[in-house]
């Protein structure tokens, strides 16, 4: 028994000596710094992870560095020598401080005490036992002079299936350090460059009430002038931080935004694409007037774009029907149509501004990124076509009394104006891109004015004709021939309905598409039943209307299910030798020194499809791409894509089509027109 007791005593002493030796190897001290390596737990189970901390206690007046040191310095680094089955993640840094150094330099780092963390992952097949973790660390510590230092640490860790042995003070310290690591920003963040100023905007819907100071620390070098002051202001739960931009303040920027409230410092990781402020960001009346003029011209040209043609067909029929019999009614129709266009444009810009203020990445044509909206628009086109084909009547037939015709004409004209705006959004006419991109960066009042100028441009041809008697006199007189014309004009509407269902096919999976087609058939059935009710009386009329109501309810129920079907991702096939767009891929290609052509498109954008057919798919264009080694990226905006939205905004645009060409080593891309020809593309690439 005595021998056994003595043996236990010897073993205990040996364990204590071993622990002391291990503890000694976890600490390195220099005249400037004390470095200590610790683990959150003394043991860990196979398949789990273990957090390990490298803690620096720094002598007053000295400092060490963050992952990006600023104008000078070197971050800490660890080379791990780990047992088999162990893998180490990246060294993770807490939010840094700005440290002025020798007047014109600004460093990012730490004084006092700082803890940097690494997560170690242990494979599930690691056998139980005590294993050594070896870390060879280097760091730089500076005051008036800088001293590179290093240390080797050995940390024993026990692999055990039992619950971990917890060293309470160390575990609590590492848990607290982990809580201080920067976390993803919970609110929208944007970066805008205006000349030498780079402005970071965080919010809205962020609680900055207690914030006293803010600073941004980019991961990359030369994004901002580090030594320049950073000034912040908070208004309506939105933080704006102004910095001085450096040469690399373009494209995608990552970093940490640090908010101070006096008691604590909280870091938020951000990832944003720098957008260029429009030329008119300095304010003034002239740029707004220019934007108004461009918007009006864009709306005017929109009348000849393929999106609006089916609606113009309906207006042409209405115009011929009016003739010269009632000039007053014709003028009222023109005003009603214009009102419908302008009210709908106002509603669209209002909704767009509200969604953007809430942090949603939306732009021109955003409603067409919803399969429910596209399907509903297809059903409207089908219904209007069936009306023109005579399946049912709206507002009576030719020959009805003038009072009813006038009242129906005004209502119909207002609705037609609304429909013209809705179907116009798949198209972007020349002049529109610049005007819309400018509008959404201005005050709400200026944005509404610019969009209403676009609306007036769209409505102006019909409005002008309705007030010019000479034009009305040249119209053919109404007659039976108009029934034939009306039936012929139904087919462009059927074509529009078919095209919109093709767009839905790009947005939904097969189950959702089947529901959309089923609803399309039910809408046709409803129209036929409604037409049957107009030809019936008594019980037959009631039966037809009741059946139509049931079918309509079933169709609406099917439409509402479309939102639950997962959207198809990347359904757009590339035209020619292209690859999908991403900001990372663009940066990689530019880093290789290759010229890059970027095509931002969408399945619902008719202008995009026309441009691809008449220009980008032409053999001479594809051959020129190949001969010049041009990389072709295609960004599909059919469904919502915040990365593409940010890329559009970065060049002052808010919708597709958008074509960008990046020459090798160019600081900014060339923006091509919204209507392409082969010569435009070839000349742009050739620098002519």
Each residue of 262-272: pLDDT tens digit?
678 899 999 88
| pLDDT over threshold 50, residue 9 | no
Q: What is the mean pLDDT of residues 549-570?
A: 74
Confidence of residue 563 (pLDDT cuts 50, 70, 90): low
Give the per-residue pLDDT at 655.
75
Q: How far apart are CA 174 and CA 558, in angstroms?
A: 53
Most confident of the ranges 12-21, 174-183, 250-259, 461-470 = 174-183
Q: What is the mean pLDDT of residues 173-196?
A: 88
pTM over 0.75: no
Q: Does residue 129 come out as left (phi exceeding 0), alpha (psi in the -120 to 50 range) or beta? A: left
Measured CA to CA in angstroms, residue 529 lies from 186, 394, 486, 545 at distances of 52, 14, 21, 7
| pLDDT over threshold 90, residue 470 | no
CA dihedral 543, 547, 553, 554 (to 10 degrees): 160
Confidence of residue 375 (pLDDT cuts 50, 70, 90): confident
Give the per-residue pLDDT at 430.
58
Q: How far apart are CA 423 and CA 27, in angstroms?
A: 70
Give the per-residue pLDDT at 86.
94
Most confident of the ranges 280-289, 344-353, 453-462 = 453-462
Confidence of residue 355 (pLDDT cuts 50, 70, 90): low
pLDDT in tens, 401-449: 333 333 446 777 788 788 777 767 666 555 565 666 666 556 678 778 8
Instruction: Name which of 73, 65, 68, 67 is nearest 110 in CA terms.
Output: 65
| pLDDT over threshold 90, residue 190 | no
pLDDT in tens, 112-143: 999 999 999 999 899 888 899 999 999 999 98
Q: 438 or 648, which is more confident?
A: 648
pLDDT in tens, 33-85: 999 999 988 888 898 999 999 999 999 999 999 999 998 899 999 999 999 99
Strand partners, 28: 35
Q: 7 or 101, which is more confident?
A: 101
Phi, psi of 586 (to 5 degrees): -60, -45
Exposure string for 412-447, b = 16+ CB within 10 A, e = fewer: bbbbbbbbbbbbbbbbbbbbbbbbbbbbbbbeeebb
User: Which of the residue ranges 353-362, 414-423, 589-598 would you say has the lowest mean pLDDT?
Assistant: 353-362
Q: 617 or 447, which is more confident?
A: 617
Angle separating helix axes 402-424 and 327-357, nearest 10 degrees? 30
pLDDT in tens, 513-531: 888 889 889 999 998 998 8
pLDDT in tens, 153-162: 999 988 888 7
Give the per-residue pLDDT at 548.
87
Confidence of residue 283 (pLDDT cuts 50, 70, 90): very low
Instruction: Name which of 602, 510, 597 is nearest 562 in CA terms.
Output: 510
Instruction: Name which of 496, 476, 501 is nearest 309 in CA terms.
Output: 496
Give the per-residue pLDDT at 93.
96
What are the structural domain ranges in the chain? 22-181, 184-277, 283-367+395-479, 579-686
Percent of the chain with pLDDT over 70: 77
What number does CATH give the domain 184-277? 2.60.40
In this structure, is the dihedral angle defined by the CA atoms of residues 192, 642, 498 and 345, taken in order, positive or negative?
negative
In this structure, is the dihedral angle defined by the CA atoms of residues 283, 285, 289 and 295, taken in order, positive or negative?
positive
Measured CA to CA in angstroms, residue 148 lies from 25, 58, 75 at distances of 20, 14, 11
| pLDDT over threshold 50, residue 577 | yes
In eight-state DSSP terms, residue 192 is: E
Q: How far apart are CA 366 and CA 423, in angstroms?
A: 12
Confidence of residue 674 (pLDDT cuts 50, 70, 90): confident
Q: Which residues contact 116 (CB under 8 A, 6 or more apart)?
A: 53, 54, 55, 56, 76, 91, 92, 93, 94
Give the per-residue pLDDT at 134.
93
Sheet strand arrangement including 49-58:
27-29, 33-39, 49-58, 113-122, 86-88
Q: 519 or 234, which is more confident?
A: 519
Most confident of the ranges 282-286, 354-358, 515-519, 605-609 = 515-519
Phi, psi of 478 (to 5 degrees): -60, 150
Give the per-residue pLDDT at 31.
93
Same fold? 184-277, 579-686: no
Q: What is the mean pLDDT of residues 84-110?
A: 89
Q: How far apart are CA 484 and CA 66, in angstroms?
A: 77
Tokens encoding 520: 């399309």
Give the per-residue pLDDT at 676.
87
Q: What is the mean pLDDT of residues 595-620?
A: 86
Give the per-residue pLDDT at 475.
59
DSSP string, 540-554: HHHHHHHHHHHHHHH
| CATH entry 2.60.40.1250 includes domain 22-181 | yes
The angle subtended at Cα 550 by Cα 548 and Cα 555, nearest 5°, is: 90
| pLDDT over threshold 50, residue 4 | no
Q: 328 or 629, which is more confident?
A: 629
Tokens encoding 230: 């950073």
Q: Go through the chain and tell me how many residues it has.
A: 688
pLDDT in tens, 473-498: 665 565 666 677 677 777 877 887 88
- Cβ count near 280 (within 10 Å): 17
Phi, psi of 268 (to 5 degrees): -125, 125
| pLDDT over threshold 50, residue 23 | no
Give the per-residue pLDDT at 512.
82
Q: How far apart are CA 687 and CA 73, in angstroms?
A: 42
Measured CA to CA in angstroms, residue 427 lies from 101, 344, 365, 619 at distances of 55, 16, 8, 25
Q: 288 or 470, which is more confident?
A: 288
Give the per-residue pLDDT at 238.
83
Q: What is the mean pLDDT of residues 638-659?
A: 78
Phi, psi of 513 (to 5 degrees): -65, -40
Q: How far apart are CA 54 and CA 91, in angstroms?
A: 9
Confidence of residue 7 (pLDDT cuts 50, 70, 90): very low
Give the per-residue pLDDT at 313.
60
| pLDDT over threshold 60, residue 102 | yes
Q: Indicate the CATH number of 579-686 among 2.60.120.10, 3.30.750.24, 3.40.50.970, 3.40.30.10.
A: 3.40.30.10
Measured CA to CA in angstroms, residue 646 lies from 6, 192, 508 at distances of 74, 11, 24
Structure-token match 């310290």, residue found? 173
Instruction: Name which of 492, 364, 500 is nearest 437 in CA terms.
Output: 364
Give the per-residue pLDDT at 260.
85
Question: Mean pLDDT score of the chain, rounded to an integer?
Answer: 79
Q: 677 or 291, which is more confident?
A: 677
Q: How far apart are CA 448 and CA 258, in angstroms?
A: 36
Q: How far apart are CA 565 and CA 411, in angstroms?
A: 36
Q: What is the mean pLDDT of residues 171-197?
A: 88
Confidence of residue 565 (pLDDT cuts 50, 70, 90): low
The count of C-alpha atoms lying within 13 angstroms of the C-alpha of 138, restricted to the half-sphere facing its C-beta, is: 7
């Amino acid at each position: 028994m005595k021998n056994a007791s003595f043996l236990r005593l010897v073993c205990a002493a040996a364990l204590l000596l071993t622990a002391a030796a291990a503890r000694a190897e976890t600490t390195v001290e220099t005249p400037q710094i004390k470095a200590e390596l610790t683990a959150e737990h003394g043991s860990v189970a196979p398949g789990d992870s273990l957090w390990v901390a490298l803690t620096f206690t720094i002598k007053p007046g000295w400092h060490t560095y963050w992952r990006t040191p600023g104008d000078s310095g070197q971050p800490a680094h660890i080379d791990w020598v780990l047992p088999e089955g162990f893998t180490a993640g990246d060294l993770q840094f807490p939010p840094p401080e700005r440290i002025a150094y020798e007047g014109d330099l600004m460093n990012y780092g730490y004084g006092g005490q700082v803890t940097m963390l690494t997560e170690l992952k242990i494979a599930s097949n690691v056998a139980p036992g005590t294993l050594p973790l070896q870390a060879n660390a280097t760091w730089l510590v500076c005051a008036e002079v800088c001293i590179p230092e290093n240390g080797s640490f050995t940390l024993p860790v026990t692999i055990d299936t039992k619950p971990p042995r917890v060293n309470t003070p160390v575990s609590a310290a590492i848990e607290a350090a982990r809580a201080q690591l920067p976390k993803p920003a919970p609110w929208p963040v944007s970066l805008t460059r205006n000349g030498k100023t780079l402005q970071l905007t965080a919010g809205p819907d962020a609680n900055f009430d207690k914030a006293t100071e803010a600073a941004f620390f980019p991961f990359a070098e030369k994004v901002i002038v580090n030594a320049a002051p950073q000034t912040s202001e908070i208004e309506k739960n939105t933080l704006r931080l102004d910095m001085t931009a450096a040469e690399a303040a373009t494209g995608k920027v990552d970093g940490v935004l640090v908010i101070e409230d006096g008691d604590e410092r909280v870091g938020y990781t951000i990832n944003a694409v720098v957008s260029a402020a429009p030329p008119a960001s300095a304010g003034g009346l002239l740029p707004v007037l220019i934007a108004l003029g461009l918007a009006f011209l864009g709306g005017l040209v929109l009348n000849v774009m393929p999106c609006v043609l089916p609606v113009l067909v309906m207006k042409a029929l209405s115009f011929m029907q009016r003739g010269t019999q009632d000039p007053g009614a014709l003028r009222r129709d023109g005003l009603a149509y214009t009102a419908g266009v302008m009210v709908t444009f106002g509603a669209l810009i209002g909704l767009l501004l509200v969604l953007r203020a809430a942090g949603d990445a939306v732009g021109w044509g955003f409603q067409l990124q919803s399969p429910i909206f596209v399907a509903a628009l297809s059903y409207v086109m089908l219904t209007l076509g069936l009306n023109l084909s005579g399946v049912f009547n709206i507002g009576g037939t030719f020959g009805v009394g003038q009072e009813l015709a006038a009242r129906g004409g005004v209502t119909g004209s207002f609705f037609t104006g609304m429909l013209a705006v809705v179907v116009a959004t798949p198209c972007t006419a020349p002049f529109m891109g610049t005007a819309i991109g400018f509008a959404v960066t201005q005050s709400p009042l200026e944005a509404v004015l610019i969009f209403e100028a676009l609306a007036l441009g769209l409505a102006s041809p019909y409005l002008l004709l309705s007030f010019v008697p000479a034009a009305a006199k040249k119209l053919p007189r109404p007659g039976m021939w108009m029934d034939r014309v009306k039936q012929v004009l139904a087919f462009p509407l059927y074509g529009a309905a078919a095209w919109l269902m093709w767009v839905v096919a790009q947005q939904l999976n097969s189950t959702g598409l089947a529901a959309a087609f089923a609803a399309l058939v039910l809408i046709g059935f409803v129209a036929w039943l409604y037409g049957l009710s107009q030809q019936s009386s008594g019980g037959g009329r009631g039966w037809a209307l009741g059946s139509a109501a049931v079918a309509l309810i079933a169709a609406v129920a099917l439409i509402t299910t479309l939102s639950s079907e997962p959207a198809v991702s990347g359904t757009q096939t590339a035209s020619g030798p292209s690859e999908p767009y991403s900001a990372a891929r663009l940066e990689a290609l530019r880093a290789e020194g290759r010229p890059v052509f970027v095509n931002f498109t969408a399945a619902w954008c008719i202008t995009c499809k026309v441009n691809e057919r008449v220009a980008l798919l032409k053999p001479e264009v594809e051959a020129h791409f190949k001969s010049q080694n041009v990389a072709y990226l295609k960004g599909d905006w059919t469904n919502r894509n915040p990365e593409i939205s940010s890329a559009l905004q970065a060049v002052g645009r808010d919708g597709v089509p958008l074509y960008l060409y990046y020459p090798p080593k160019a600081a900014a891309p060339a923006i091509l027109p919204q209507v392409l020809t082969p010569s435009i593309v070839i000349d742009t690439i050739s620098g002519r």
